[in-house]
Amino acid sequence: MAKSSKTVGLWIWYIFWALFANAVYVWILRPLVDDLALYGVLAAIAVILLWLSSLKRPIRRRWVIYTLFALMVAEGYSTLAFASKIKQGLVAVAMLLLLWLMAVIVGRVRPVAALLGGASVVIAQVFLPLNDWAFLTHFRVLQDAQVNLRVQNSPEAPFAVIPVAGGQAIITIDSHIPTRQELEQRAISATDSPDALYNVLQTAQGEYEIVELKSVGGHLKKVVPTPQDLARVNPLDLVRAFFPYELANWYVDNGRVYEYLTPFLTDQQAVEAALDPAAYPASFQAIANQASAKEVANWDDCLAELGVKPDRAGVYVSNDRLMGLGAGRASAVTMQAESVVGEGHFTSSRDDQILLVGDNSLHVYDVNLGRIVASYQGSADNPVPNDIRIGPLVAGGRDAVFVNASPAYILTVSPQGTWRRVYTAPSQSFRFETVLTGVKPYPEILTNDPSYVRNSPVRYFSAYRFVPNANGTGQLVRVWRVFRTNVVNVTPLHLAGVPSEVLALDIYGTGDYLVISPWNVPVLPAASVALLAIIVGGWLYRPRREGEERSR
Partner 1 sequence: MKSSRRTVLALALCAGLLATGCTPGVQSVSIASGTATQVVSSHVSWSPLVKALDKSETASMYKLQTAVNIQNGNLHTSFTVYGTIQQPNMASIQVHENNFNIAFYQQGQVAYQQDGTIWSPAQPVSNLNAYEGYRDIVEYAMAHHLPLQKMNRTYVVDEYCDVYRVVVPNGVVSLPAFLGGAPGASSAELATHASEVAYVFYVGETSGYIRQIQTQSVGVVDSVGSLIMQTTTIFQDIDNAELAKVQIPVSLVQQLEQGVQ
Interface positions, 131-190, toward partner 1 (CB under 8 A): 152-153, 155-156
Measured from the CB atom, the residue of 251 and 284 that comes closer to partner 1 is: 284
Residues 385-404 that bind partner 1 (CB under 8 A): 385-387, 404
Whether residue 95 contacts residue 89, with contact meaning beta carbons closer than 8 Å, is answered with no
Measured from the CB atom, the residue of 384 and 516 that comes closer to partner 1 is: 384
Residues 428-467 that bind partner 1 (CB under 8 A): 431, 456
Q: How far is the CB of 450 from partner 1 (least distance, A)?
A: 13
Q: How far is the CB of 90 from partner 1 (least distance, A)?
A: 25
Measured from the CB atom, the residue of 412 and 489 that comes closer to partner 1 is: 489
Give the Cα separation of 156 and 490 in Å (integer).
Answer: 12
Q: How far is the CB of 374 from partner 1 (least distance, A)?
A: 17
Size of the residue set binding partner 1 (CB under 8 A): 87
Residues 260-289 that bind partner 1 (CB under 8 A): 263, 265, 267-289
Which amino acid, 505?
L
Among 27, 62, 67, 209, binds partner 1 (CB under 8 A): 67
Q: How far is the CB of 286 from partner 1 (least distance, A)?
A: 4
3-state secondary structure 406-417: CCCEEEEECCCC
- Residue 546 contacts partner 1 per CB under 8 A: no
Q: How far is the CB of 369 from partner 1 (least distance, A)?
A: 24
Measured from the CB atom, the residue of 498 and 503 that comes closer to partner 1 is: 503
Q: Supply φ then ψ for residue 115, to 5 degrees.
A: -65, -40
Measured from the CB atom, the residue of 88 and 339 that comes closer to partner 1 is: 339
Among 13, 20, 242, 480, binds partner 1 (CB under 8 A): 242
x/- track of binding to partner 1 for residues 357-386 (CB under 8 A): xxxx-----------------xxxx-xxxx
Phi-psi region of 163 (alpha: psi -120 to 50; beta: other; left: phi over 0): beta
Q: How far is the CB of 255 from partner 1 (least distance, A)?
A: 25
Angle of the 196-203 helix axis to the 180-188 helix axis, nearest 10? 170
Residues 462-491 that bind partner 1 (CB under 8 A): 488-489
Give the Cα separation of 500 and 139 in Å (integer).
Answer: 13
Number of Cβ within 10 Å of residue 439's Cβ equals: 19
x/- track of binding to partner 1 for residues 23-42 (CB under 8 A): --x---xx-xx------xx-
Measured from the CB atom, the residue of 47 and 169 that comes closer to partner 1 is: 47
Give the Cα separation of 22 and 238 in Å (integer).
Answer: 37
Cβ neighbours of residue 156 closer than 8 Å, sequence gap 6 or more: 149, 241, 488, 489, 506, 507, 508, 509, 510, 511
Residues 80-109 that bind partner 1 (CB under 8 A): none
Give the Cα separation of 494 and 497 in Å (integer).
Answer: 9
Cα dihedral 261→262→265→266 (10° resolution): 170
Q: How far is the CB of 431 from partner 1 (least distance, A)?
A: 7
| 167-176 vs 139-146, strand pairing mode | unpaired
Give the Cα separation of 330 and 366 in Å (integer).
Answer: 13
Number of Cβ within 10 Å of residue 19's Cβ equals: 18
Residues 325-344 that bind partner 1 (CB under 8 A): 338-339, 341
Among 296, 496, 524, 530, binds partner 1 (CB under 8 A): 296
Among 87, 240, 420, 552, binds partner 1 (CB under 8 A): 240
Among 45, 123, 177, 532, binds partner 1 (CB under 8 A): 45
Cis peptide, bond prior to residue 263, ω within 30 of zero = no
Tell me whether residue 339 is exposed, middle or buried, using C-beta atoms within 10 angstroms of its C-beta: 0 to 12, 13 to 18, 19 or more: middle
Could you give the residue ranges of the DSSP H alpha helices within 246-401?
267-274, 280-306
Q: How far is the CB of 67 from partner 1 (least distance, A)?
A: 7
Measured from the CB atom, the residue of 41 and 223 that comes closer to partner 1 is: 41
* Among 113-121, 163-171, 316-324, 491-499, the segment contacting partner 1 (CB under 8 A): 316-324
Could you give the residue ranges of the DSSP H alpha helices within 79-179?
85-107, 111-127
Q: How far is the CB of 191 from partner 1 (least distance, A)?
A: 22
Q: How far is the CB of 3 from partner 1 (least distance, A)?
A: 32
